[in-house]
């Protein structure tokens, strides 16, 4: 069960948090050219969706901690508790809680409308602290630029990268549309029940 929870958490992180960050950049670029209200409506729904996903991430993360604590032997459980509450406790807690905090702050209209905060939040959702440390340390190495063969070693070329980022945004928008449809159905059911009781 713990593998499924870890897979779901990684799926949320990679496919939703990263895609929302990419969508935010695309949204601000599209605002330069398109001034139609549908673009702002899509942005509002995507903010609602990512706030919901943030709560879902928090619930799954807490469940994952409890499941892992229950299946570990005593020595591994003590080691995990030391990571959680020991000298470097912030390394365990800061990234997931940062993602949850960012997604919940997007519920506020003043934060959603602030371009600087939205771009900052997008970068923080796309890059984990671990990734930022890896990027920073890789720039401080003594490698020559001619030895930077990232595309050939991992099989990702710029055209494939652009295509995969574009597909991430499309999948994200499909899920936003499904979320919007479900919300509308629930609202209409609630209105019908209220009208039946009157």
Spatial CA neighbour of 120 closest among 146, 101, 94, 133: 101
Q: From CA 183, how far away is CA 143, in angstroms rounded?
A: 52
Task: Report if residue 165 sits inside a domain.
Answer: yes
Position 156 pLDDT exceeds 80: no
Task: Report if residue 144 sits inside a domain.
Answer: no
Task: Report if residue 47 sits inside a domain.
Answer: yes
Task: Report if residue 26 sits inside a domain.
Answer: yes
22 within 8 A of 168, measured Cβ to Cβ? yes
Three-point CA angle 184, 97, 8, nearest 5°: 60
50 within 8 A of 103, measured Cβ to Cβ? yes
Task: Report if residue 148 sits inside a domain.
Answer: no
Beta-carbon neighbour count of residue 75 at 10 Å? 8
Q: From CA 28, how far away is CA 46, in angstroms rounded?
A: 14
Task: Report if residue 41 sits inside a domain.
Answer: yes
Position 153 pLDDT exceeds 50: no
Task: Quote the number of domains for the chain.
Answer: 1
Task: Report if residue 138 sits inside a domain.
Answer: no
Give residue 126's domain range.
Answer: 2-131+157-197
Q: What is the pLDDT of residues 40-93, one digit of tens each?
A: 899 999 999 999 999 999 999 999 888 888 888 888 888 888 888 888 888 888
At 140, the pLDDT band (50, 70, 90 cuts) reads low
Helix, coil or strand: residue 105: helix
pTM of the model: 0.79
Q: What is the pLDDT of residues 170-196, one digit of tens each?
A: 999 999 999 999 998 988 888 888 787
Is the pLDDT higher at 128 or at 116? 116
What confidence score (pLDDT) does residue 148 get?
52
């Amino acid at each position: 069960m713990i593998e499924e929870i870890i897979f779901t958490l990684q799926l949320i992180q990679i496919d939703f948090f990263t895609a929302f960050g990419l969508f935010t950049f695309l949204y601000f670029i599209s605002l330069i050219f398109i001034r139609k209200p549908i673009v702002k409506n899509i942005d509002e729904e995507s903010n609602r969706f990512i706030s919901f996903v943030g709560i879902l991430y928090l619930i799954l993360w807490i469940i994952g901690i409890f499941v892992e604590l229950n299946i570990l032997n005593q020595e591994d459980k003590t080691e995990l508790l030391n990571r959680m509450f020991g000298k470097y406790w912030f390394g365990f807690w800061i990234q997931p809680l940062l993602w949850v905090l960012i997604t919940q702050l997007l519920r506020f209209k003043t934060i959603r409308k602030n371009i600087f905060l939205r771009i900052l939040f997008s970068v923080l959702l796309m890059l984990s602290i671990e990734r930022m440390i890896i990027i920073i340390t890789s720039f401080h190495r003594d490698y020559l630029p001619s030895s930077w063969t990232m595309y050939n070693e991992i099989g990702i070329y710029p055209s494939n990268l652009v295509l995969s980022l574009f597909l991430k945004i499309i999948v994200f928008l499909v899920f936003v549309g499904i979320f919007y449809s479900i919300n509308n159905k629930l609202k209409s059911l609630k209105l019908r029940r209220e009208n039946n009781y009157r």
